[in-house]
Chain A
Amino acid sequence: MNAEPVSGSLSKAFFALLRRDLLLAFRRRTELLFPVIFLLVVVSLFPLGIGPGPQLLARIAPGVIWIAALLATVISLDALFRSDFEDGTLEQFVISGHPLTLIALAKIVAHWLVAGLPIVLLSPLLALWMNLPAESLVVMIMTLALGTPILSLIGSIGVGLTISLKRGGQLLSLLVFPLYVPILIIATAAVMAASDGLPYTQFLGLLIAGLITSVTLAPFAAAAALKISLS
């Protein structure tokens, strides 16, 4: 039986869902900090494992910060759809008559606000710890601001595919890391070029292109993945 099409514009539905997800996330405020703390801990492990030598840290800083961002994002992605999947809300969304793409996009935006934005905001502290040269700090922040949404978008496809699996979280990392490789390469190339005083805007341009592409395509793919998982 078809559900009656729900009245109300698409944007109303989008913001309502976004608001709901953010409210749910804020109800467990301490859990919001887990990705943040994870990021801090992972980055501090590098000097502890490699040695505090400032030059060495500065050389690996772009890669370390970006890899830590990747790890933190993957860990928080699982939460993206899992609780809604487990209590059946997700199925309700599917039959609600609202386009699943919109729902996926709303959840992705909520995820980025809760998990990706803190990475961007914390990056100056991470840059300080890793001795990132001051010239490349701004570029670092820009690559994170452009790149973390892409991570959320592409990651949501992986989440959609693995949501119904028991060990979904582990498989998710496997699926998603290869997809993340281009972003990692381009972002770190930008930052390293900036530290060496070389031009870096072409890399930022690629990131912008990637962001636009994933915003337009990823929600569709994520919705399709969810439909498969729920079927």
Chain B
Amino acid sequence: MSHAPFILAAYSIGTVVLLWCAVAPLIRKKSITRDIRRLIQIEERSSDTNS
């Protein structure tokens, strides 16, 4: 039996898992910075109306 599909499968799964491991926090970071920016906007708007 050819070994090639097993080598390919092993490295593909490895790549996918490690890629996800590397990228997942960055996706989280995008949503956090979006939330913080929105928070800043709300605060700036409320301080504008107050002052």
Direct contact of A and B (CB under 8 A): no
CB within 8 Å of A: which residues of B? none
